A and B are shown apart, each in its own frame.
Chain A
Amino acid sequence: MKEPNIITSKNLTKIYGKNRSLDKVTLNIPRGSIYGLVGNNGAGKTTFLKILAGHIFPTSGEFTLFEANNPMDYNKVRQRCGCIIENPGFFPKMTAKQNLEYYRIQRGIPGKATVMKVLELTGLSQAYNKRFENMSLGMKQRLGLALALLGEPDLLILDEPINGLDPIGIVEFRNLLLKLNKEKHITILISSHILTELEHIATDFCLLSNGKVLEECTAEKLRENCHTYLSVKVENAKKYAALLEEKLHCTNYKIMPDNTIHIYDNSDNIKCYSELAATLDIGLLSFSKNEINLENYYMHLIGNSKEMI
């Protein structure tokens, strides 16, 4: 049985001047999931996360965070969240330990040992005495995660947390997120502009572009959707496209500049497409079944066909 949603949003909109940063975003984040929010720069990922964290206010629409659905209750349930939004904010002259101690006191978390525990968990136990201003970008990101983990949250909201981490750090970070999700049942909402970054960890995805939801689906469904496509090279691509629509009612295709048609519907039904190309004598030059990765699928969704495949 599917877990109830920990976050739902309905027609959430944020307008800055004439710019619609979020445009009627409706999505559901299941409890216990690792939810990947994916979109290019300016897609509205950070805006959405900032609304959840209370940094900004929505222009219209509504959202539910845990069981809270009105501004009066949001602050209560935010105590159960850990957030890193944009760059982690700390006092530059204070050490890693002092910075975390500051927030531990502020949040009323008992036990001084908690701070060292989260530093250890994020691989910063050796650097506890290092000033924030002297830390590398990767260390700063880890400290941000340590802060988010302070107080054992039920929900982690992470905005592009992998930025600045080295390859080993990225792997460690992914493993840590998986561990937290599996062992502590923490729901993780994580954003990235690189879909493949989240490919191995996310259980659910939401693809955003220009403030709009392009698609919301589970990881399995996404993999299914972008599994294969047919590449058909013909002499007269326009004629073949017309026949696809007329005879096979297929509309999900793209004509590439070199007269190749990419068909995204029914990729398993190769026979129909090949027969159509052959029997009607439109000059079939090549025919192949190709894999499409998540990145390309996203590009296809946002209609950036030139750079797609």
Chain B
Amino acid sequence: MTEVINNEKEKFMGLTHAQVFMYLLMTVISILFLFITNAYLFRMNFADWQSLPMPTLLWFNSGALVLASVGMIWAKQGAKSGSPTNIKIGLTAAGIFGTLFTLGQITAWQELNAVGYFLASNPANTFFYLITALHVMHVLGGMVAWLRVSFKVFLGSENTATEHTIGLLGIYWHYMLLVWALLFSILLTT
């Protein structure tokens, strides 16, 4: 490795690389969900649209996602106050509730399928499966990032970047919760 010196640079609003990357990524993801909801609202005006009932399980899943976010806040506070125990508790909670959410969503699909709301039988069903699946995929992306951070925290030595990293991870998780809240309210009201 070469020792190099990076003199003071032009920065954008005092943000770090990772912050800029994360905010941009969230913008792109927002656009993706914006288009899919747009298509949803456009398509539901057609005559063949038949809304499907929302499984009650979704409320429990939403709760799990909220608790996962709380876990991330817990970990962030732990990092701020320099308490490794709180970081670990918070991360663990976030991981457990994140997994519960994912499993819960899969169970909800199975429930719907079991009572005859098949993917292809009505556009409302198709959109429900597609939108929730896209969201779950993005939550899984957050789980991968969670794994990376957790490995560092549980196995690695003390890392100076932990607060920064956990903060960013937390933002993504809160963002996933926000996206879910918006999607769920659209699914509920239409």
- The answer to whether A binds B is no
Interface residues of A (CB under 8 A from B): none
Interface residues of B (CB under 8 A from A): none
